[in-house]
């Protein structure tokens, strides 16, 4: 069992509570979150000399629940009143979020410059999905697509005996704004299927561990559970016995965990069972589970990640990018009120650059969740610095109908959710790469306020994580992180074409690695050009799944943004981009530039040696060495591949092997 004392405090070191902990604080509220606030404040005051005031006593900070409190509401009002800072929460959970808002602001929370205003989350549901397996999977391991060691939740086939670690995790993510955690992998294997019934006690234990921080536990369930658990011989969602099985099973869940959050389902996807087996629709499947959950006020999240993963690469008419819209758009309006359709941000699979999934604008009568991936499956696997919020902000701030008009966050936040696949494991730094903590932090912050500037979110995270480090470290970290996603994009797959990674592992380059596979992930590079024709005029028609103006913008080479050109068009290597350079020269230029930027990052980090804990410095330095090696490998493979294909030399005469 790892000792909490060995674990890095991330953005909640004791010193983050300095401003608050040195003051007089009054707390007025009941229930688990209020108790948690009380214990947080007590701990902070023990460190910094402040104290908890008695009811009615004069205080520097008052944390109170409004008289007309609403149990479910998380909002609060923060202001200065008569020399005190006051958090007036809508309900107990708001008290906790208000506390962490005060922590984030530090001394500024107690200054006259504080502008009084109301705070409330844009997304009512802000979720981290853990792709953690209970049993170590022979191929995927303990945490599928996990790059931070083992699971903090499960070990050796059972609940991990480390409540302190889980509590610390709950505290961290609650402080960032998260209010739900899915505790097992969406690929629900046999052992995990049993969590729903005979292993329910483990789920209840987790619910108890997360409850003090206002976080509800969700469970990934197996659509075939009624069959696999041996009770029925069908999982047909319209079969009365099946519906009754789910209703009774769900009742038992709530009997033991009354604040249980809901189910997450990956059905008819990559080999998982689903309603298609019984000739039913995804709406039939989701609504059956929704009916079981509705009496308990809980929801089912149903993933839209459905496509043919046994495609024939010779078939040029099938387009994986189209699949989710083709499957789900016709079902708009058919889902029950407590179904949330969970949609990956792009139409493919968490690539470094994809257009925003058109499913998000094709289903106005359906509650939607936007699914992000904090774990860096395709973005460097926490060996590479890749600060993802600039990408996420781009998705959330995308205007599907042009400007003015609602952004994705406006569309999805209405009744929907923001979800990220967690990047956390039992690594002492939580996330493998210490700088990847910022991605985890940003999930919660952007879910609460999608319009936050990514650089400002990073600033918050730096100030909390490295209190007192000052301007030099802040500058170094911004230099390393602000543009790191774009840097990663530069040296990997170009112009939105995607993939080109080692199959299975998804780390490191392999340009043709997925080109002749059944996965629907192709680039069609030949001696003349590269890219996928997804236009309506001559291609797969995917571009037409967008509303205007984007259907038109993407349809035409002349208007398609450079960074998505190869996602939508197959173009010759000498095609001239809006940037004024040719496609082939762009490939060379960005790959040389990207690797060079990584070399600069590695050098720059040396300047931080005296500014951070030696263990943090060493870990980051090691990973930067690997990032540089990997970036140079990407640069050389990509450049060589396209030089061999195109025969066009680099205009600047640099070395291409």
Minimum CB distance to a second copy smaller for 278 or for 313: 313
Q: What is the distance between the terminal CA atoms of the chain, rounded to a whole angstrom?
A: 49
Q: Nearest to residue 652, comparing CAs of 603, 581, 546, 594?
A: 581
- Cβ of 32: how many Cβ atoms within 10 Å? 16
Kindly give the residue spans of alpha helices, DSSP state H, lying in 49-158.
92-105
CA dist 352 and 495 (Å) reads 10
Which residue(s) pair with 154 in the sheet? 159
Half-sphere exposure at residue 176, Cβ-oriented, CA atoms within 13 angstroms: 30
Long-range contacts from 158-167, C-beta under 8 angstroms, 24+ separation: 158/134, 158/202, 159/202, 159/205, 159/206, 160/426, 161/1, 162/1, 162/2, 163/209, 164/4, 165/2, 165/4, 165/7, 165/426, 166/206, 166/209, 166/210, 167/209, 167/212, 167/213
Q: Would you call 459 a catalytic residue per the annotation?
A: no
Which of 377, 489, 533, 555 does the annotation list as catalytic? Answer: 377
Minimum CB distance to a second copy smaller for 143 or for 283: 143
CB of 532 to a second copy, least distance (A): 14
Minimum CB distance to a second copy smaller for 425 or for 508: 508
Q: Which of residues 300-329 bind a second copy (CB under 8 A)?
A: 313-314, 316
- Give the count of residues interacting with a second copy (CB under 8 A): 24
Q: What are phi and psi of 127, to 5 degrees?
A: -120, 140
Minimum CB distance to a second copy smaller for 330 or for 647: 647
The tokens describing 454, both together, are: 């990514």
**Among 156, 270, 453, 526, which residue sits at the site for a second copy (rule: CB under 8 A)?**
526
Minimum CB distance to a second copy smaller for 472 or for 518: 518
CB of 547 to a second copy, least distance (A): 34
Element (H, E) at 169: helix 163-176
Residue with token string 């209405």 = 414
Which of 349, 354, 427, 460 does the annotation list as catalytic? Answer: 349
Contact status: 139 vs a second copy (CB under 8 A): no
**Among 644, 649, 651, 654, which residue sits at the site for a second copy (rule: CB under 8 A)?**
644
- Cβ of 128: how many Cβ atoms within 10 Å? 26
**Among 528, 574, 607, 625, which residue sits at the site for a second copy (rule: CB under 8 A)?**
528
Which residue(s) pair with 52 in the sheet? 25
CB of 142 to a second copy, least distance (A): 15
CA dist 513 and 502 (Å) reads 6
CA-to-CA separations, 238 to 242, 243, 287, 291, 341, in angstroms, rounded: 7, 7, 10, 12, 20
Minimum CB distance to a second copy smaller for 633 or for 650: 633
Q: Nearest to residue 506, comparing CAs of 3, 106, 146, 59?
A: 146
Among 6-14, 202-210, 363-371, 510-518, which window interacts with a second copy (CB under 8 A)? 510-518
Q: Which of residues 612-641 bind a second copy (CB under 8 A)?
A: 633, 636-637, 640-641
**Among 28, 510, 562, 626, which residue sits at the site for a second copy (rule: CB under 8 A)?**
510
**Among 432, 509, 520, 594, which residue sits at the site for a second copy (rule: CB under 8 A)?**
509
**Among 516, 548, 556, 613, which residue sits at the site for a second copy (rule: CB under 8 A)?**
516
CB of 509 to a second copy, least distance (A): 7
CB of 526 to a second copy, least distance (A): 4
Minimum CB distance to a second copy smaller for 273 or for 509: 509
Among 83-91, 155-163, 560-568, 645-653, which window interacts with a second copy (CB under 8 A)? 645-653
CB of 269 to a second copy, least distance (A): 24
The tokens describing 219, both together, are: 């469970």
Binding string to a second copy for residues 57 to 76, with x set by CB under 8 A, is what? --------------------
Contact status: 295 vs a second copy (CB under 8 A): no
CB of 644 to a second copy, least distance (A): 4
CA dist 384 and 15 (Å) reads 28
Contact 142, 90 (CB under 8 A): no
Q: Would you call 349 a catalytic residue per the annotation?
A: yes
**Among 200, 446, 511, 598, which residue sits at the site for a second copy (rule: CB under 8 A)?**
511
CA dist 136 and 151 (Å) reads 10
- Cβ of 561: how many Cβ atoms within 10 Å? 16
CA dist 6 and 509 (Å) reads 35
Minimum CB distance to a second copy smaller for 28 or for 510: 510
Minimum CB distance to a second copy smaller for 284 or for 515: 515
The tokens describing 501, both together, are: 């990674």
CA dist 132 and 434 (Å) reads 20
CB of 655 to a second copy, least distance (A): 9
Among 123-131, 416-424, 438-446, 511-519, which window interacts with a second copy (CB under 8 A)? 511-519
Contact status: 259 vs a second copy (CB under 8 A): no
Residue with token string 């003349």 = 528
CA dist 412 and 589 (Å) reads 37
Minimum CB distance to a second copy smaller for 528 or for 607: 528
**Among 615, 647, 651, 654, which residue sits at the site for a second copy (rule: CB under 8 A)?**
647
Minimum CB distance to a second copy smaller for 79 or for 318: 318
Q: Would you call 135 a catalytic residue per the annotation?
A: no
Contact status: 254 vs a second copy (CB under 8 A): no
CA dist 140 and 138 (Å) reads 6
**Among 527, 580, 610, 614, which residue sits at the site for a second copy (rule: CB under 8 A)?**
527
Q: Which of residues 557-616 bind a second copy (CB under 8 A)?
A: none
Residue 443 makes CB contacts below 8 A (sequence gap 6+) with 126, 128, 176, 178, 372, 374, 418, 420
- Cβ of 625: how many Cβ atoms within 10 Å? 13
Contact status: 645 vs a second copy (CB under 8 A): yes
CB of 527 to a second copy, least distance (A): 4
Contact status: 657 vs a second copy (CB under 8 A): yes
Binding string to a second copy for residues 86 to 125, with x set by CB under 8 A, is what? ----------------------------------------
Interface residues toward a second copy, by CB under 8 A: 313-314, 316, 509-513, 516, 525-528, 633, 636-637, 640-641, 643-647, 657
| Residues with catalytic roles | 270, 349, 377
């Amino acid at each position: 069992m790892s000792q909490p004392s060995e674990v890095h405090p991330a953005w909640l070191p004791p010193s983050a509570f300095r401003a608050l902990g040195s003051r007089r604080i009054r707390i007025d509220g009941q229930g688990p979150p209020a108790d948690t606030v009380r214990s947080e404040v007590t701990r902070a005051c023990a460190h910094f000399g402040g104290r908890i005031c008695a009811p009615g006593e004069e205080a520097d900070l008052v944390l109170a629940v409004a008289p007309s409190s609403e149990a479910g509401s998380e909002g609060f009002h923060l202001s200065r009143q008569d020399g005190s800072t006051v958090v007036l929460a809508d309900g107990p959970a708001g008290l906790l979020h208000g506390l962490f808002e005060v922590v984030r602001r530090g001394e500024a929370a107690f200054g006259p410059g504080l502008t009084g205003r109301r705070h409330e989350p844009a997304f009512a549901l802000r979720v981290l999905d853990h792709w953690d397996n209970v049993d170590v999977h022979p191929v995927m391991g303990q945490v599928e697509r996990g790059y931070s060691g083992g699971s903090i939740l499960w070990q050796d086939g059972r609940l991990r005996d480390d409540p302190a670690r889980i509590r610390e995790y709950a505290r961290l993510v609650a402080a960032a704004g998260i209010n739900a955690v899915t505790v097992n992998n969406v690929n629900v294997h046999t052992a995990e299927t049993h969590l729903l019934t005979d292993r329910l006690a483990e789920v209840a234990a987790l619910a108890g561990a997360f409850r003090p921080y206002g976080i509800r536990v969700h469970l990934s369930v197996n659509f075939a559970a009624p069959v696999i658990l041996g009770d029925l011989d069908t999982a047909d969602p319209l079969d009365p016995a099946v519906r009754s099985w789910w209703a009774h099973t769900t009742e038992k869940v709530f009997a033991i965990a009354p604040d249980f959050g809901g189910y997450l389902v990956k059905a008819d996807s990559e080999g998982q069972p689903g309603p298609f087996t019984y000739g039913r629709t995804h709406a039939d499947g989701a609504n059956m589970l929704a009916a079981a959950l509705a009496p308990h006020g809980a929801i089912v999240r149903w993933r839209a990640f459905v496509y043919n993963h046994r495609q024939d690469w010779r078939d040029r008419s099938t387009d994986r990018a189209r699949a989710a819209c083709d499957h789900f758009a016709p079902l708009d309006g058919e889902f029950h009120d407590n179904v949330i359709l969970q949609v990956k941000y792009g139409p493919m699979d968490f690539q470094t650059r994809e257009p925003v999934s058109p499913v998000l604008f094709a289903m106005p009568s359906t509650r939607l969740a936007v699914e992000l991936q904090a774990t860096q499956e395709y973005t460097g696997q926490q060996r590479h610095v890749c600060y993802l919020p600039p990408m996420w902000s781009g998705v959330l701030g995308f205007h599907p109908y042009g400007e003015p008009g609602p952004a994705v966050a406006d569309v999805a936040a209405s009744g929907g959710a923001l979800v990220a696949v967690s990047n956390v494991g039992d690594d002492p730094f939580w996330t493998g790469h210490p700088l990847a903590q910022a991605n985890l932090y940003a999930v919660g912050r952007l879910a609460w306020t999608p319009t936050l500037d990514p650089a400002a979110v990073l600033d918050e995270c730096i100030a909390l994580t490295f209190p007192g480090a000052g301007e030099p470290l802040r500058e170094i970290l911004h230099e390393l992180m602000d543009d790191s996603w774009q840097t990663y994009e530069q040296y990997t797959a170009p112009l939105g074409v995607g993939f080109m990674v080692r199959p299975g592992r998804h780390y490191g380059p392999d340009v043709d690695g997925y080109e002749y596979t059944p996965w629907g992930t192709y680039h069609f590079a030949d001696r003349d050009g590269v890219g996928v024709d997804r236009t309506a005029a001559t291609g797969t028609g995917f571009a037409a799944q967008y509303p205007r103006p984007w259907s038109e913008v993407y349809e035409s080479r002349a208007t398609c943004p450079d960074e998505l050109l190869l996602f939508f068009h197959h173009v010759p290597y000498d095609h001239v981009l809006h940037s004024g350079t040719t496609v082939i020269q762009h490939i060379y230029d960005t790959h040389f530039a990207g690797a060079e930027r990584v070399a600069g990052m590695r050098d720059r980090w040396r300047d931080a040696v005296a500014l951070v804990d030696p263990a943090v410095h060493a870990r980051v330095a090691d990973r930067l060495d690997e990032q540089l090696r990997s970036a140079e490998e990407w640069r050389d493979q990509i450049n060589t591949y396209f030089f061999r294909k195109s025969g066009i030399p680099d205009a600047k005469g640099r070395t291409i092997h």
